[in-house]
Amino acid sequence: MAFRYISRDLRLLFYTAQNSILALNTSFDPNVTLSKLKAQKWTPVKVIWTTCNALLAAFWISVMPAPLKFLAPTAYCIALLLPITSQFFIPASPVLMWVLTYFTSRYLPPQYRPGIAVSLLTTLESVLYGANISDILTRYTHPILDMVAWIPYGVGHFSIPFVIAIFLWLFRQRSALYYWAFAFGYMNLFGVICQILLPCAPPCMSCLFKSHSFLTFRQGTTSSTGQFQPTTACSALQVVSHGSTGSSTPRHTRGRSPPLPSSSGPSPPSTQVARPSKPSSSHTSSLASLSQPGRM
């Protein structure tokens, strides 16, 4: 009896997928897409929406490396012109905008990145829930617990949206699939933009590494000598940012000595940086939990 129901469901799934595939537009004629574009009724909402998406895409394309800067827009325009691909790429434009923002944000110059708010999320946990939940969860660590946490976040987080999209494509109207792509894409897009404008360290990182310094999202700045120096967060969970004077600050060692700065020759007199004075005993004791200062 159970086999009969399973067989019936599989036949239904097969016929539904077959009908959906046969209903696809297999034309390669760009004139079909252009005629649909001419027949499109442009309302003020559509104009504003299209303009905002075009400006955001142009910004991220401008910070891309040279090869991707030309290949990505060309491939997307070709996919929009061909009817066989435009029926997928036009509804998926919000999702593609999210993917573009997520993967291209790494090319933002470090000097334009805001500093990481290390203790913001832990403070919000204490205010909203009355306790630091992340501190409680990080007291017990085990590889099995890591695998249990990885299954919903590392596997389900990326695969379930596509499973839902396939289900909507097979068993629901196209409008439901378009609405799902719109809501899913812009929800993730706003999340990425919020993380770029207000980067926050995960609460578990604040709890696990509160006695160590770790590299911030800024990843470093350039001093007046042109030497790259990483930005660190101190044990008091406050971001330490470098100024433009090239002063020596604690670096992230994590059990190893910091690398010596490489120099190809003597620096010009105008860019020489004086060696910082020896810190006092009270200052030295306050920096005991931090890494050693970088050598000049």
For residue 59, is it within any domain?
Answer: yes
- The pTM assigned to this predicted structure is 0.67
Does any domain span residue 43? yes
In a domain, 2, yes or no: no
Mean pLDDT along residues 32-44: 90
266-295 per-position pLDDT tens digit? 444 444 434 444 444 444 444 344 334 444
60 part of a folded domain: yes
Q: Under 8 Å CB-to-CB from 40, ≥6 apart: which residues? A: 46
What pLDDT is attached to residue 184? 94
Residue 271 counted as domain residue:
no
Structural domain includes residue 117: no
Q: How many domains would you assign to the chain?
A: 1
Q: Output the pLDDT for position 14.
A: 82
Looking at residue 24, the DSSP 8-state letter turns out to be S
Instruction: Please say whether the beta carbons of 225 and 122 come within 8 A.
Output: no
Residue 99 domain-assigned (yes or no):
no
Tokens of 261: 């700065």
- Domain containing 80 equals 24-90
Residue 79 lies in a domain: yes
Q: Are strands 214-215 and 232-233 parallel, antiparallel or unpaired?
A: antiparallel
Q: Give 197's pLDDT tier (boundaries 50, 70, 90).
A: very high
What pLDDT score does 268 carry? Answer: 45
